A and B are shown apart, each in its own frame.
Chain A
Amino acid sequence: MVLKIVRTVWPVMLTYVAIGAPCGMIMGQTGMERWMVFALSSTFVTGSGQFMICNLWLAGVPAPSIIASVAAISSRFALYSASLAPHLKSASKCQTLAVTATLTEEAYGISLANLVEKDDWGPRESFVLNVILIATWGVSCTTGGIVGTVVDVPTAIATFVCTSLFICLLFSQRLSRGNVVAAVSGAVSVAVCKFLGLTNIAVPASVVVGIAIALACDAVFDGRGARDAR
């Protein structure tokens, strides 16, 4: 089973290496020891949260503000978790806990697609997928933290790799009117949030806006359809 999942996720694992190594280097630059880099990266498993902790720490921001910022930027996980819930009906409490506690963005995208489309994919497979990705991320970050003290590796590539990964996950979604409306509204809302200075909550707030607009659009079209039918 592990090999089968590795064959599915190896491209994501490669991107995790490309993103994790620079992330580990940055964490090393903030004065974190190797065990700290490993502990943080294998429990957070969120590049944005880790980058944020490092940047705010280096900027001398107080700990409560850093925690609040990380919590705000990670609130998007609540939406992913809620979205997975209907597909975990057959899972036990322990399995639900295991799958959701180890959730990452990429694992969420892959798991959700497989839970919907494949009969031989269940919570167990989702958990193994999460563990493989967490292990890759933790090892990559720690290796980056160690190597970063010796070799100068360009960190700019991490941002491009991350963006391309999200583009792939976006285009793997089903093409429907509602999905297109949700995606476009979400993207426009991010630009508006950033313009208004709401950088930390831009993503979760935009997801909610995207969903609301897609639902409103559906309601309008469904209402029009019903009127036409009458």
Chain B
Amino acid sequence: MPVNEFLVLWLSSWAAIAFFRIAPAFALRGRTLSPRITEALGYIPPAAFAALVANDLASRRVRRGTLACLGSLDCGRRRRGRGGQDKIDAVVLRLGHRTLYRLEPYIGVASRVLNLVPSQLVEFFTELVYFFWYHGQTLL
């Protein structure tokens, strides 16, 4: 990367980031905020971290990696658990896990043909539902 292009990119982007970091704190500094504003500011952390998690989970690579890791951990726990039925459950869940991933592209195609629900949204919600179903089973 040429030095002058890097300097333009670096300094301009840094100025924008610094503005976003510094300006609001100085604008609100020393002011007595209304209870409503204080309440709104208090909601920033949960909303922000949930949005960041959702943003990451909406990326297919992360979703697959996370689910695969959780699936492996979960099955490991079941195998060490309460005898034969748990092993069968683990195998069935594992197969279900794989089958769902195999069906995923077809679900995507079906939605595109119908042109009602976009494929990425179907994929996202399929995995979301599957995630809760899978861990609901484990917890119960």
Shortest A167–chain B CB gap in Å is: 6
Question: A39-B10, A83-B44, A159-B62 in contact; A109/B22 too (CB < 8 A)?
Answer: no
Tell me the complex Cα distance, A203–B26, Å: 23
Q: Which of B50, B56, B69, B124 has the most CB of A within 10 A?
A: B50
Asked if B51 and A186 make an inter-chain contact with CB atoms under 8 angstroms apart, the answer reads yes
Judged by DSSP, the binding face of A is helix
For A83, the chain B residues whose CB sits under 8 A away are 41-42, 44-45
Asked if B25 and A77 make an inter-chain contact with CB atoms under 8 angstroms apart, the answer reads no
Asked if A156 and B65 make an inter-chain contact with CB atoms under 8 angstroms apart, the answer reads yes
Is B92 an interface residue when CB atoms closer than 8 A count as contact?
A: no
State which of A66, A97, A109, A194 has its C-beta within 8 Å of the C-beta of B49.
Answer: A109
Asked if B28 and A163 make an inter-chain contact with CB atoms under 8 angstroms apart, the answer reads no
Shortest B8–chain A CB gap in Å is: 6
For B55, the chain A residues whose CB sits under 8 A away are 190, 194, 202-203, 206
Asked if A49 and B9 make an inter-chain contact with CB atoms under 8 angstroms apart, the answer reads no
Total interface residues on B, CB under 8 Å, equals 56
**Total A-B Cβ pairs within 8 A:** 217
Asked if B22 and A71 make an inter-chain contact with CB atoms under 8 angstroms apart, the answer reads no
For A184, the chain B residues whose CB sits under 8 A away are 50
Which residues between 150 and 191 of chain A lie within 8 Å of chain B, taking CB atoms?
Answer: 156, 159-160, 162-163, 166-167, 169-170, 173, 178-180, 182-191
Shortest A152–chain B CB gap in Å is: 18
Q: A167: nearest residue on chain B (CB-CB)?
A: B53
Shortest B132–chain A CB gap in Å is: 13
Asked if B29 and A96 make an inter-chain contact with CB atoms under 8 angstroms apart, the answer reads yes
Asked if B50 and A30 make an inter-chain contact with CB atoms under 8 angstroms apart, the answer reads no
Q: A36: nearest residue on chain B (CB-CB)?
A: B6
Asked if A190 and B46 make an inter-chain contact with CB atoms under 8 angstroms apart, the answer reads no
Shortest A100–chain B CB gap in Å is: 4
Is A210 an interface residue when CB atoms closer than 8 A count as contact?
A: yes
Shortest B69–chain A CB gap in Å is: 7
By size class, the interface of chain A is: 35 or more
For B121, the chain A residues whose CB sits under 8 A away are 191, 195
For B102, the chain A residues whose CB sits under 8 A away are none
Is A23 an interface residue when CB atoms closer than 8 A count as contact?
A: no
For A30, the chain B residues whose CB sits under 8 A away are 1
Tell me the complex Cα distance, A178–B39, Å: 9
Is A103 an interface residue when CB atoms closer than 8 A count as contact?
A: yes
Asked if B28 and A182 make an inter-chain contact with CB atoms under 8 angstroms apart, the answer reads no
Which residues between 41 and 82 of chain B lie within 8 Å of chain A, taking CB atoms?
Answer: 41-59, 61-62, 65-66, 69
Asked if A86 and B56 make an inter-chain contact with CB atoms under 8 angstroms apart, the answer reads no
Tell me the complex Cα distance, A97–B1, Å: 32
Tell me the complex Cα distance, A108–B44, Å: 11
Q: A192: nearest residue on chain B (CB-CB)?
A: B121
For A103, the chain B residues whose CB sits under 8 A away are 21
Question: A78-B23, A96-B26, A186-B54 in contact; A67/B12 too (CB < 8 A)?
Answer: yes
9 interchain residue pairs of minimum CB distance? A210-B47, A183-B50, A71-B16, A85-B28, A187-B54, A170-B49, A186-B47, A82-B24, A190-B54
Task: Contacts A80-B21, A82-B44 known; list 8 others, CB within 8 Å.
Answer: A70-B13, A82-B24, A97-B22, A159-B65, A163-B53, A170-B52, A210-B43, A214-B47
A-B contact pairs, 6 of them (CB 8 A): A32-B1, A85-B41, A100-B25, A160-B62, A173-B49, A210-B51
